[in-house]
Structure 1
Amino acid sequence: MPILIIGMMLGFVVVGGDDSCATAAVPGAPGVSVDPNSVPQTEIAGYGHEQLVNAANVIQAGKDLGLNVRDQTIGVMTAMGESSLRNIDYGDWETGGVTNPDGSRTTSIGLFQQQDGWGTREERLNPYISSTKFFQAMIQKVPDRESLEPTIVAHRTQINADPYHYERFWDGAVQIVEGLTGVKTGLNPGDSSPSGGTCDPTVPGGVNAQGWAAPSAGPVTSPFGIRTHPIYGTQRLHAGTDLGPGCDSPIWAAQDGTVTFRGFDGGGNGVIAIDHGGGVTTRYLHMYDSGMLVNVGDKVKAGQQIARVGSSGESTGCHLHFEVQVNGENVDPEPFMAAVGITLGQ
Structure 2
Amino acid sequence: MNPRLLSIIAAVVLVPVLVIGGIAFGLLAIIGGQAASANAGTGACTVGDAGTALTVTTTGGDSLTLDEKQLANAATIITVGTQAGVPAAGLKVALMTALQESKLRMLANSTVPASLDYPHEGVGSDHDSVNMFQQRPHWGKLADLMDARYAVRAFFGGPNGPNGGSPRGLLDIKGWDTMPPGQAAQRVQVSAFPDAYDQWEGAAETIINSMSGSISCDSGQVIGQAAYPLSPGYNMTSGYGPRDIDVPGASTWHTAIDLQHWPNNCNDPVYAILPGTVTVSTELWLSIRHPDGFIVSYLHMYKSQRLVDVGDEIQAGQQIGVTGNVQPSGGCHLDLRINKNGTTNSAVAALQEATDLGAPAMYAGYVDPEEFLRLYGIEVCPPDSCRRP
TM over 0.5: no
Which one has more relative contact order, counting CA pairs under 8 Å at least 6 apart?
2
Return the index of the structure with the highest Cα Rg: 1
- TM-score (normalizing by structure 2): 0.38
Q: What TM-score do you get using the length of structure 1 for normalisation? A: 0.42
